[in-house]
Amino acid sequence: MKVELIPLQIHGDERGSLVSLERNSNIPFDIRRVYYIFDTENGVTRGYHAHKKLMQMAIVLKGSCDFILDDGNERVSITLNNPAQGLLINSFIWREMKNFTPDCVLMILADNEYDESDYIRDYDQFRLMAK
């Protein structure tokens, strides 16, 4: 499975740093939804789903967390801990997020609005569909 980490250019000076996110530039899709996860309790694992069509990019704004990505044949683990790097998550990729640091703020950009019918929440069903 190809894991794609997209570098996000940092602009900064003595005042601090800035990262700009632009559709179809450093974000390879039109952004239709943005949400973020924070204050995740110690030991909590989130995700446990895949999407039929949705494409997303995950960016850790602060702290760190681990992603487990699974395409039905291979599972890979990656730690996100750099706000100048985005993890591209294509459709039909099972994802789990865990090991959130207490200060973790995880932002997700998506190419479409929330649609429950796009979710695959059963891992066995996902494996069958991913073949």
- Supply the residues annotated as catalytic: 49
**CA 50 remoteness from chain centre:** 11
Q: Which residues of 84-108 are buried (b: 16+ CB within 10 A; e: fewer)?
A: eebbbbbebbbbbbebbeeebbbbb
Beta strands 85-89 and 16-19: pairing type? unpaired
Q: How many whole angstroms separate alpha carbon 70 and alpha carbon 32?
A: 24
Q: How many whole angstroms separate alpha carbon 93 and alpha carbon 90?
A: 6
